[in-house]
């Protein structure tokens, strides 16, 4: 509806401009047909040109017809939004971008044929570019659903048909059955299929894809993808629900094990004739930074992402497929964030090849696209880095660097999981030492804090996981496991210390990984984390918190030695100065937050009495006014507001995007 409205304004401006009568024969014939078929109708819902346009203004006749169809497109969309039905038929409105572009291209060609190319290259060419770029939907919407939800739907179908439980089948059997159905023609979705709310939700989404114009959508992304059957299942569901132009299906490999098996999964898909016919030589694969970091720690995740991209690019090359890697980066370093230019230049050689797709997360959209000049800066960064990567590919790691990284990644993952997954006290410590519980209860996130109820850290999404540690300035998911990996490498062979320094100085991937880590240490403060522990953590858990803070300090020291820096951020004085200026403000907010959490969790906690306010600020009615501020809060007066303000302030002060 909004797109049609914007285009109507543009078309009316063009109608003013293109008043000439001289045109080519093709356009003249079309204009005469439209003029004679329109009769003597008068359309009074336009500001200008509402009477029938004379045939000696052929461009205006054509554009007037386009405007009529845009009007119908807008009104039909408005009716559908309001009541779900419209008397205006789809035939009398635009349903495809080609249909909209055709009359505009006809006008452009006619102007060029008549020697008016200078006019054609003005407002008309601008409009053509806008239509080509934004289509009839302004923005294409990607569809995203978890692989398990598709498995539930297929399992319900196979169980209902009496051929067994799809969920219990091994991967080979799943692929065999899905491919036999995709190659066949029999319908699979019975009208009497027993459906839970979740199954109805997934099938309903596919039916909406079938209803709306194809240019409304980007690809269909499968989060938590694990195997080729996940992709084939979505292809089958698209066919069963009547999606006429199926969306390209993009597997999103997130967890460590899934990234390790990603190249084999992609190779299996490319070895299937049916699938190769379907993709026409193009494939997108998404790699997830957030959940891989949450699963194995930042160092191991970064290395596995590097290897998976490298191997998938080699597979695609063997099969002659143009592979576009889609990077699911978050804003913070723990979720794959970092300076755009460096992040792209640190990708493995031969993995970009002139095309890259990247998510820009909600929390950083303002910094990247908040103002016009920022949009251009952001796009320039992406373009420059993508071109540079192709023209001057980054250095390939030496075999000994790879070997050392493989060994360190194993140690880092083991250390990370020994704390986060295997340590019995960890979940209780995490929930008491950070504002995670309160964050989950407040409706301030872009999505629910958990994928499903219960499950401890496993079901918690990567956003609240990282966000909670950022609030306490401890950043545990970013550095945990790194110190142990460095220590292992140096203890195994003293010469590895020099190898690590060489990797830092010569290998862009390793340097960027360590530089981002150093930046996180510059923003962290174990003293602040200690304050949260002191106020919020049970006595028996305090020694555990102390052990973690000791590991933090040890990791920071090892990092500085490998980078060859005496002080933190020695190589980036500009950022260092910025942090020096910001820290006093963030520290104040941290103290406010820690004490607020204490008061929320312990109603008997008494804050030390403050000196009385000066006379001009003293107001006996202040507490009563405070209660009215947020009457819906389940917490005592003012505490939820204080918590939200400190959360937003600390997050803004951290600016963990680099």
Average pLDDT of the residues in 351-356: 89
Alpha-carbon gap, residue 361 to 573, rounded angstroms? 27
Q: Read off the pLDDT band of 338 (50, 70, 90).
A: confident
Helix (H, G, I), strand (E, B) or coil at 326: strand
Task: Report CA 570 to chain centroid distance, whole Å.
Answer: 32
Average the pLDDT over 395-404 and give the result.
94
546 is catalytic: no
SS3 label, residue 491: helix
**Which pLDDT score is estimated for 362?**
72
Do residues 324 and 316 make contact, with C-beta atoms less than 8 angstroms apart? no
| pLDDT reported for residue 635 | 72
29 versus 465: which is more confidently predicted?
Answer: 29
Q: pLDDT band for position 49 (50/70/90)?
A: confident
CA–CA separation, 100 and 133 (whole Å): 13
> 536 near 594, Cβ under 8 Å?
yes
Which two three-digit tokens encode residue 315? 């597979």
* φ, ψ dihedrals at 495, nearest 5°: -65, -20
Burial 49-58 (b: 16+ CB within 10 A, else e): beeebeeebb
Tens of pLDDT, residues 70-121? 999 999 999 988 988 889 888 899 988 899 999 999 999 999 999 999 999 9
305 pLDDT more than 80: yes
Predicted confidence band of residue 657 (pLDDT cuts 50, 70, 90): very low
Task: Tell me the DSSP string of 350-409.
Answer: TS-TT--EE---HHHHHHHHSSHHHHHHHHHHHHHHHHHHHHSPPPPPPHHHHHHHHHHH
pLDDT at 658: 35
Phi, psi (degrees; rounded to nearest 5) at 255: -75, 160
| 617 to 486, 608, 609, 612, 613: CA distances (angstroms) | 55, 20, 17, 10, 6
Q: How far apart are CA 455 and CA 448, in angstroms?
A: 14
Q: Give the residue from 440, 168, 462, 443 showing the smallest Cα distance to 297.
A: 462
Q: Judging by beta carbons within 10 Å of its beta carbon (0-12, 13-18, 19+), is residue 186 exposed, middle or buried?
A: exposed
Q: Which residues contact 568 (CB under 8 A, 6 or more apart)?
A: 518, 521, 522, 556, 560, 576
Q: Which residues of 597-625 are buried (b: 16+ CB within 10 A; e: fewer)?
A: bebbeeeeeeeeeeeeeeeeeeeeeeeee
pLDDT at 638: 79
pLDDT score recorded for residue 41: 60
Distance CA 284, CA 632 (A): 45
Of 42 and 367, the structure prediction assigns the larger pLDDT to 367
pLDDT, residue 311, reads 96
The token duo for 37 is 């078929």
**CA atoms 510, 480, 523, 497: torsion sign:** negative
The answer to whether 1-134 and 141-391 have equal CATH topology is no
Q: Of the candidates 246, 266, 19, 255, which has an alpha carbon nearest to the alpha carbon of residue 123?
A: 19
Mean pLDDT is lowest, of 288-302, 355-369, 392-406, 439-453, for 439-453
DSSP state of 140: P
Question: Which residue in 456, 450, 402 sits closest to 424, CA to CA?
Answer: 456
Beta bridge partners of 323: 283
Q: Which residues touch 349 (CB under 8 Å, ≥6 apart)?
A: 393, 394, 395, 396
Cα–Cα distances in angstroms (integers) from residue 401 to residues 40, 298, 395, in the given order: 79, 18, 12
**What is the b/e burial string over 465-479, where b = at least 16 CB atoms within 10 angstroms of the residue's CB?**
bbbbbbbbbbbbbbb
Closest CA to 66 of 112, 41, 30, 20: 30
7, pLDDT greater than 90: yes
Q: Which of 503, 641, 534, 649 is nearest to 590 (CA)?
A: 649
pLDDT, tens only, 246-300: 999 999 999 999 999 999 999 999 999 999 999 999 999 999 888 888 888 889 9
Q: Which CATH class is domain 141-391?
A: alpha beta
Q: Sorting pLDDT into bands at 50, 70 and 90, what band is 215?
A: confident
> What single DSSP character describes residue 495?
T
Mean residue pLDDT of the chain comes to 88
Total number of residues shown for the chain: 658
Decide which of 42 and 531 is more confident: 531
Place of tokens 């066949």: 184
For residues 249 and 284, the answer to whether their CB atoms sit within 8 Å is no
Region 321-337 average pLDDT: 78
In sequence order, the β-bridge partners of residue 450 are 460
Reported as type and span, the H/E element at residue 614 is none
Closest CA to 510 of 535, 491, 531, 485: 485
Q: In this predicted model, what pLDDT tens digit does every residue of 586-618 receive, in sequence order?
A: 999 999 999 999 999 998 887 666 555 565 555
Computed on alpha carbons and rounded to an integer, the radius of gyration of the chain in Å comes to 30
- 34 Cβ contact list (under 8 Å, min separation 6): 61, 62, 64, 65
Active-site annotation holder among 69, 294, 523, 551: 294
Tell me the per-residue pLDDT of 624-655, one tens digit each, with 9 for 90 and over. 544 455 556 677 777 888 898 898 888 888 87
pLDDT at 572 over 90: no
Question: Over the stretch 167-188, which tens digit does the pLDDT of each residue have?
Answer: 999 999 999 999 999 999 888 8
Break the chain into its structural domains and give their ranges.
1-134, 141-391, 399-654
The share of the chain scoring above pLDDT 70, in percent, equals: 90
Nearest alpha-carbon partner for 482 in 405, 595, 543, 368: 405
Report the alpha-carbon distance of residue 133 to residue 3 in Å, rounded. Answer: 12
CATH architecture classification, 1-134:
Up-down Bundle (1.20)
Over residues 502-515, the mean pLDDT reads 92
């Amino acid at each position: 509806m909004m797109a049609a409205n914007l285009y109507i304004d543009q078309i009316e401006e063009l109608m003013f401009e293109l008043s000439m009568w001289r045109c080519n024969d093709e356009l003249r014939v079309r204009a005469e047909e439209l003029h004679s078929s329109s009769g003597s109708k008068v359309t009074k819902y336009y500001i200008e040109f509402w009477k029938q346009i004379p045939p000696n203004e052929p461009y205006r006749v054509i554009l007037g017809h386009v405007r009529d169809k845009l009007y119908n497109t807008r009104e039909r969309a408005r009716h559908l939004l309001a009541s779900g039905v419209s008397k205006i038929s789809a035939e009398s409105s635009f349903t495809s971008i080609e249909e909209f572009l055709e009359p505009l291209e006809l006008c452009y060609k006619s102007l060029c044929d008549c020697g008016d190319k200078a006019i054609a290259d003005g407002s008309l060419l601008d409009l053509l570019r806008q239509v080509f770029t934004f289509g009839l939907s302004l923005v294409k919407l990607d569809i995203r659903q978890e692989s398990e939800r598709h498995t539930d739907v297929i399992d319900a179908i196979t169980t209902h048909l009496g051929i067994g439980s799809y969920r219990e089948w091994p991967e080979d059997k799943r692929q065999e059955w899905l491919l036999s159905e995709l190659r066949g023609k029999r319908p699979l979705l019975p009208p009497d299929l027993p459906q839970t709310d979740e199954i109805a939700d997934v099938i309903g989404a596919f039916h909406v894809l079938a209803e709306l114009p194809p240019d409304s959508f980007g690809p269909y992304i499968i989060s938590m993808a694990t195997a080729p059957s996940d992709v084939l299942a979505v292809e089958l569901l698209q066919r069963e629900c009547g999606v006429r132009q199926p969306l390209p299906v993009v597997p999103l490999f997130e967890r460590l094990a899934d990234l390790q098996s990603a190249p084999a999964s992609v190779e299996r898909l490319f070895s299937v004739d049916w699938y190769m016919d379907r993709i026409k030589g193009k494939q997108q694969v998404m790699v997830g930074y957030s959940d891989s970091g949450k699963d194995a720690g930042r160092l191991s995740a970064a290395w596995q992402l590097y290897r998976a991209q490298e191997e998938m690019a080699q597979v695609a090359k063997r099969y002659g497929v143009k592979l576009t890697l889609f990077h699911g980066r978050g804003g913070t370093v723990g979720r794959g964030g970092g300076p755009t230019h460096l992040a792209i230049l640190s990708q493995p050689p031969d993995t970009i090849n002139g095309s890259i797709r990247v998510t820009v997360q909600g929390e950083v959209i303002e910094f990247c696209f908040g103002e016009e000049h920022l949009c251009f800066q952001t796009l320039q960064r992406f373009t420059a880095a993508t071109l540079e990567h192709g023209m001057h590919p980054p250095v390939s790691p030496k075999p000994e660097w790879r070997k050392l990284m493989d060994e360190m990644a194993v140690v880092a993952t083991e250390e990370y999981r020994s704390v986060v997954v295997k340590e019995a006290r960890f979940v209780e410590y995490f929930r008491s030492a950070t504002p995670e519980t309160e964050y989950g209860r407040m409706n301030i996130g872009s999505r629910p804090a958990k994928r499903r109820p219960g499950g401890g850290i496993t079901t918690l999404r990567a956003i609240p996981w990282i966000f909670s540690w950022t609030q306490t300035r401890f950043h545990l998911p970013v550095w945990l496991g790194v110190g142990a990996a460095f220590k292992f490498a140096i203890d195994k062979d003293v010469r590895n210390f020099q190898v690590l320094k060489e990797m830092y100085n010569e290998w862009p991937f390793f340097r960027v990984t360590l530089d981002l880590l150093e930046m996180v240490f510059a923003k962290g403060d174990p003293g602040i984390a200690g304050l949260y522990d002191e106020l919020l953590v049970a006595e028996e858990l305090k020694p555990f918190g102390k052990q973690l803070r000791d590991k933090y300090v040890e990791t920071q020291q090892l990092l500085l030695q490998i980078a060859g820096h005496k002080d933190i951020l020695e190589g980036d004085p500009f950022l260092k100065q910025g942090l020096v200026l910001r820290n006093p403000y963030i520290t104040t907010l941290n103290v406010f937050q820690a004490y607020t959490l204490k008061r929320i969790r312990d109603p008997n906690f008494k804050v030390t009495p403050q000196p009385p306010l000066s006379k001009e600020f003293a107001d006996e009615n202040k507490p009563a006014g405070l209660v009215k501020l947020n009457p819906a809060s389940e917490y005592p007066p003012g505490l939820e507001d204080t918590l939200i303000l400190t959360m937003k302030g600390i997050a803004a002060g951290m600016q963990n995007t680099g």
